[in-house]
Structure 1
Amino acid sequence: MSDAPMSDAPMSDAPMSDVGPISSPTPELLPAGADGVLVRFALSPDPVAMAAAQGFERALEEAPLAGVIEVAPALVSLLLRFDPVQMRRADLIATLRPMAERAAREAGHLPDPIRRWQIPAAFGGENGPELAPIARALGLNETTAVEQISKADLRVLAIGFFPGQPYLGLLPERWNLPRLPELVPSVPAGAVVVAVRQIVLFGAASATGWRQVARAHFRCFDPARTEPMPLRAGDAIRFVPVSAGELAALDTPDGMGGARLEHLA
């Protein structure tokens, strides 16, 4: 399997500043099960490796490979599943290797997004009980903390744990916060939670060790919709602060919660 998040923590709790950046990620191409190839650019959540993974995914979208039936991106890797009737694993690896090496060489920054979501969210209070203690820990007032989140250049880094659920990043360095020492028994669907410079927008009620700062009524998975999982890896995300009353009015049957999608290219 890929290194997509399998718990509510996408990677380790080690601060990213302690992980250390890598200037030139070296991709590994590894067999995965009977019909898979894992393309991995790092073992830790390094921003350059994230950029390489997203650039590689973009290249696969622009030039799909015959015989590849699924591409599942994670933070710093992608899992490709292929049809063994149409191709051999060794041939697929030979085709993928120069593409992965090029993505690694060109990974100076995340690829420019082609889509941007604006998602309304109510911060603080009952909708974000951890906002106030986080702001105090960072030496900020709550207004400034919300501004830093809502103005951050967030991208969908990976989707996992629940169907359609995004891991977003990266927040400024000062937001390199550890998870809580104990699990919160439950946060609601739409909870906006933070840790290790990342944000997760929960797709369903769940226990978590992440810190809830806000809530949205955007549902990242709804099997009744034409497109059940609207978010894609690489999408840009902006949270739009709204009041608790405004948020309540956005709890609509379509599950979009007032979210707006802008096409940038």
Structure 2
Amino acid sequence: MTVPSPNPDQFPTIRTAGIDGLLITFADRLSEPANRAALAFRAALEGAGWDGVEETSSSLISAYLRFDPLYLTHDAIEAQVRDLLGSRDWYAADLPQGRRYWRIPTVFGTELAPQLGEAAKAAGITEEEAIQLLADARVRVQTIGFAPGQPYLGELPEVWDIPRQSALTASIPVGALCVAIRQFVLFSVSTPTGWQHVGQTAIRLFRPETEEPFLLRPGDEVQFVPTKPETLTAMQADPHGGAECEPI
């Protein structure tokens, strides 16, 4: 694989991020191959264990590393990154090891998730069809962001390429499952949002009192399993909200 020079029309690109960071970007928009590349490359950076690298992370289409500028120069770390980029086709790389498959009980619609009807109408389908499509989708945690432990998950079928709302919903609860632009967001905090609230879970995604405070990891796969409101209520005492997982 030939690695192109940083150029807005070519990917992957390498850009400086302040005095101690590099951002490696694999596309100009979200796609499955670009997200796969970002996750796989970040895992490779972490696994390389390079001296002077202090932190790595990934976003929807990019990987980031922070280094000690007293130990490494930008040129030196960029040369290492370029060598690693050229070692394989990251767009077809295996996803990181240690991923899990989660099944999360979810109430779709009802007063707990009152925007299911609006979202279904925007998608041009019935509420029953919407629930079936959303429950059938096995999606990947593409990144964690916006709030602690909050996952963006996708991609959903094309019918869910619906816009976010033009006005904000004043507040949605912890565990709200929302949809737009072929993605789910599962909210870890109560917040205003422009995403449409179509499902409600009892899961706690951010648990600062634990050794691993973020429950989900980038690369995990998730399916939202329909359940009844009374069943969900009974799951409130469980930090996992009734969710089960198994290794992939």
* TM beyond 0.5: yes
| Regions of 4+ moved over 6 Å | none
1:25–1:48 Cα contact (<8 Å) kept: no
Amino acid corresponding to residue 50 of structure 1 in structure 2? N
- Shift in Å, 1:238: 1.1
2:231 is matched with which residue?
246
2:240 is matched with which residue?
256
2:123–2:161 Cα contact (<8 Å) kept: no
Structure 2 CA distance for partners of 1:92 and 1:169, relative to 1, 3 Å: same
Task: Figure out how many residues of one structure are paired with residues of the other and give that number.
Answer: 239
Residues 171-182 of structure 1: matches in 2 within 5 Å?
171-182=156-167
Moved more, 110-119 or 40-49: 110-119
Residue of structure 1 aligned with 2:76, choices 91, 109, 115: 91
Amino acid corresponding to residue 148 of structure 2 in structure 1? P
Residues 1:169 and 2:138 are matched in the alignment:
no
- Shift in Å, 1:135: 2.1
1:92 and 1:129 map into 2 onto residues whose CA distance is: 50
- Shift in Å, 1:185: 0.6
Amino acid corresponding to residue 255 of structure 1 in structure 2? P
Gapped regions of structure 1 (runs ≥ 5): 1-23
Q: Deviations over 1:97-142 (max 9, x none)?
A: 2323456x34148737732111111110112211122223334332
The alignment's TM-score, normalised by the length of structure 2, stands at: 0.88
Amino acid corresponding to residue 244 of structure 2 in structure 1? R
Tell which structure's C-alpha radius of gyration is larger: 2
Q: Deviations over 1:13-37 (max 9, x none)?
A: xxxxxxxxxxx96111111112111
Residues 1:152 and 2:137 are matched in the alignment:
yes
Q: Secondary structure at the match of 1:156?
A: strand
Residues 1:111 and 2:90 are matched in the alignment:
no
Gapped regions of structure 2 (runs ≥ 5): 1-8
2:158–2:182 Cα contact (<8 Å) kept: yes
Q: Secondary structure at the match of 2:212?
A: coil
Amino acid corresponding to residue 260 of structure 1 in structure 2? E
Residues 75-224 of structure 1: matches in 2 within 5 Å?
75-102=60-87, 105-108=89-92, 111=95, 114-224=99-209
Q: Secondary structure at the match of 2:111?
A: helix
The alignment's TM-score, normalised by the length of structure 1, stands at: 0.83
Structure 2 CA distance for partners of 1:217 and 1:195, relative to 1, 3 Å: same
- Percent identity between the two aligned chains: 40
Structure 2 CA distance for partners of 1:246 and 1:154, relative to 1, 3 Å: same
2:215 and 2:48 map into 1 onto residues whose CA distance is: 22
Moved more, 86-95 or 214-223: 86-95
2:43–2:96 Cα contact (<8 Å) kept: no
Moved more, 56-65 or 142-151: 56-65
Q: Secondary structure at the match of 1:127?
A: coil
